[in-house]
Amino acid sequence: MIGLNSFLAAGLAHKQPLWMTAKSGMTVNVFDHEWRILPHMGKGCTISVGWIHDSVMPVEDKKLILEVLIQYVRTKSASTTVGIVHNTKPFLMDGTPTLTSLRTAWSALKTNQKKGLNQFFGTLSKLGHVKYDEYHKFTSSHLDKEKSNSLDPSKGALSDIEFDSLAKEINAKLRAFDWSVSQEISFFLRSSYGYGELRNSVSNKLMLSTARRPIQLAILKWRDLIPAGASFNDPNIKESDQIGSTGIQTLQLRVFYAKETGGSSPRAFPERYPLHLSNDLSTVLINYKKLYTAGVTLHLKSCGINLDQVELIRVMMNMPILLSNDLFSTKFDSLEIFKSMFTNSSMTFHVGEQAPTRALRTVKIVSDRHPGCIATNNRIRHTILTRAAQEGLPATQLAQITGVTVPAARHYIDMDYQSRLLIDQNYVGNEFLKQAFKGAISLVAAGEEVVLDQQFNDIGGVKSKASCRNCSAELGRPLACYGCPNFRPILEAEHRAVLQLAEDKLSINKSALLNPLHTRSIEKLQRQINWVKLTIDICDEILLTKKGINVK
């Protein structure tokens, strides 16, 4: 970095341009007040560094701060780079602080600020500035202890009901789309009720099925999606690790490590094992690609460019799977200009990583634990890793499922799942006592929908018929109704008869298990039995209370 230091010194003194290449491939002048480091509007696409150039801090400190940021821009993702700027800027406005002032202020700092400063001084130390070895030694040894939120009911793994509801909503949205209809160019220009909304549905399906991060989905190109049995011809992926022919039309997907450093682009390091996609997801992506191809063809024709299908498919190999709507409002003067936009490593017209993140948050899901439950990518990954660990899979397999490191996957194996299950059951039971029996009834009101047991006896009513028609419960009525916030149990109904039938069914299913350790297939039935028992207990309590009042 000696050469860089001399360039920085000369540039700061004479305002000479100093060009660097960001990890995304963008070229940036270090002495600009704003750095554009992504070609699209993803997180961290621009970074403001004017505060460094305009500061009255010593020139030496300016060089040090710029040197760290240059290192981040060259080797880290844009979101990581903008994160370190945000977390360290308040403490670097007047230059690098003294170690004494850093120690004094440390206890009052937020966790993210401590992490940012630790990264900053750690980078300075790695770049050979020995003065800051002592700084990094202090910051790294005084970080807040990591707290896992993988079991948190509002941020951690989704419950079975929440996860099933999420999958149902995502699948229903895609099944409702009519792929056979030829779309006009106006469809591809729209974000709502058009191509943008369909693309978001596809990204939701990909995120749920692959358990990969938003940035990993955002950088995907069509060349990363090939039939099972074909080869990527990628030197970083062994032929033996690719998906062989399965006899049906399924696809395999190449994904790239999101946090690998040292690459020339975000697509520099593919995961060793491609992902085998289900028949259902493969069909969705095939239909989506046909529609996508039709949209690009329409737009090129509007620009006066005629491209045959064979040539278009060849160009599309380097186009993003999750394509930004901006392409359909961009005019291309020639075919050569259009082709030049797309290379193996280009990020032109890729959506930013925030697009898949926002799309997932819009999916409305039903929760048995938390009102206003929101699904996130982290929650999906927590759920899949938690379930896999409960099934007894080793850490190496868990790491392969979601692309995490083996140490990160091992954390899930070390969790106390029985404690989590006990907490969840108690939480659900308490909420049930508070909410579900506010509407307990003795008779179903005229005009309301009635819930019947197996002997066609009334056991309850429903608050909203529409909610019942959209119910995704697999166990069906009446058993699945217990615990549902839409269900109003009749106090005097024969709930014990429902309980007896459910317990008999559970006993049969237990005896049919191929492996006594694999109990996930009967967990839903066991949970509903617990709901029925709670219902019986509360009905009995309310009836006894009423009887006591009447006696008095």
The answer to the question of residue 236 being in a domain is yes
Alpha-carbon distance 102 to 272, whole Å?
A: 42
User: End of a domain among 353, 373, 401?
Assistant: 353
Domain shared by 203 and 319, yes or no: yes
pLDDT number for residue 57: 92
**pTM listed for this prediction:** 0.69
Domain shared by 175 and 51, yes or no: no
* All residues at 6 or more sequence positions from 132 whose CB lies less than 8 Å from its CB, including other chains: 96, 121, 124, 125
Give which of 473, 477, 113 is closest to 462, Cα–Cα: 477
What is the number of structural domains in the chain? 3
Give which of 117, 123, 115, 119 is closest to 143, Cα–Cα: 115
Alpha-carbon distance 448 to 471, whole Å?
A: 17
Domain shared by 465 and 503, yes or no: yes
Contact 216, 403 (CB under 8 A): yes
| C-alpha atoms less than 13 angstroms from C-alpha of 392 in its C-beta half-sphere | 6
The answer to the question of residue 410 being in a domain is no
Domain shared by 182 and 88, yes or no: no
pLDDT number for residue 547: 65
| C-alpha atoms less than 13 angstroms from C-alpha of 490 in its C-beta half-sphere | 20
pLDDT number for residue 475: 64
Domain shared by 186 and 331, yes or no: yes
pLDDT number for residue 438: 55
Q: 446 to each of 10, 462, 469, how far by Cα in Å?
A: 86, 12, 19
Alpha-carbon distance 382 to 413, whole Å?
A: 12
Q: 411 to each of 126, 210, 382, 397, how far by Cα in Å?
A: 29, 20, 11, 13
Which domain, by its residues, includes 284? 163-353
Alpha-carbon distance 359 to 153, whole Å?
A: 21
The answer to the question of residue 45 being in a domain is yes
Q: 530 to each of 426, 498, 503, how far by Cα in Å?
A: 11, 12, 10
Q: Which residue has the tokens 């990954």?
A: 381
Q: What are the backbone angles phi and psi of residue 441, rounded to the nearest 5°?
A: -135, 165
Domain shared by 134 and 205, yes or no: no
Would you write out the chain's pLDDT as a tens digit for each of its 552 residues? 445 665 565 555 556 678 888 887 789 999 899 999 887 777 788 999 999 989 999 989 999 999 999 999 988 888 889 999 999 999 999 999 999 999 999 999 999 999 999 999 999 999 999 999 999 999 999 998 765 565 666 778 888 888 888 999 999 999 999 999 999 999 999 988 999 999 999 999 999 999 999 999 999 999 999 999 899 988 888 888 888 876 667 899 999 987 776 666 788 889 999 999 999 999 999 999 999 999 999 999 999 999 888 999 999 999 999 999 999 999 999 999 999 999 998 888 999 889 999 999 999 988 877 778 899 999 999 888 887 877 777 888 888 888 877 777 776 665 544 444 544 454 455 455 445 555 556 666 666 788 888 888 888 888 777 667 666 565 678 888 887 777 888 888 889 999 999 898 888 887 766 554 455 557 778 888 888 888 888 788 777 776 665 544
Give which of 58, 28, 71 is closest to 46, Cα–Cα: 28
Domain shared by 124 and 183, yes or no: no
The answer to the question of residue 442 being in a domain is yes
The dihedral built from the CA positions of residue 167, 170, 173 and 179, taken in this order, carries a sign that is negative
Q: What are the backbone angles phi and psi of residue 391, rounded to the nearest 5°?
A: -80, -5
The answer to the question of residue 122 being in a domain is yes
Residue 544: Cβ-neighbour burial (10 angstroms; 0-12, 13-18, 19+): exposed
Domain shared by 348 and 467, yes or no: no
Domain shared by 106 and 37, yes or no: yes
User: End of a domain among 353, 381, 396?
Assistant: 353
Q: Per-residue b/e over 231-263, b at no fewer than 16 CB within 10 Å? A: ebeeeebeeeebbeeeeeebbbbbbbbbeeeee
Contact 449, 461 (CB under 8 A): yes
- Which of helix, strand or coil describes residue 26? coil
* N-terminal to C-terminal alpha carbon distance within the chain: 89
Q: Per the structure block, which two tokens stand in for 371?
A: 């009102």
The answer to the question of residue 412 being in a domain is no
The β-bridge partners of 489 are 460
- Which of helix, strand or coil describes residue 354? helix
Domain shared by 331 and 434, yes or no: no
Q: What are the backbone angles phi and psi of residue 35, rounded to the nearest 5°?
A: -100, 125
User: End of a domain among 323, 353, 383?
Assistant: 353
- Which of helix, strand or coil describes residue 459? strand
Alpha-carbon distance 349 to 327, whole Å?
A: 6
Domain shared by 113 and 254, yes or no: no
Q: Per the structure block, which two tokens stand in for 420?
A: 């989590």
Element (H, E) at 388: helix 377-390
pLDDT number for residue 351: 92
The dihedral built from the CA positions of residue 260, 265, 271 and 277, taken in this order, carries a sign that is positive
Residue 141: Cβ-neighbour burial (10 angstroms; 0-12, 13-18, 19+): exposed
Domain shared by 196 and 339, yes or no: yes
Alpha-carbon distance 535 to 489, whole Å?
A: 8
The answer to the question of residue 408 being in a domain is no
Element (H, E) at 457: none
The answer to the question of residue 306 being in a domain is yes
Please write down the long-range contacts of 65-71, taking CB distance under 8 Å and 24 or more positions apart: 65/92, 65/96, 66/8, 66/30, 67/1, 67/4, 67/5, 67/8, 67/124, 67/127, 68/120, 68/123, 68/124, 68/127, 70/4, 70/20, 70/30, 71/123, 71/127
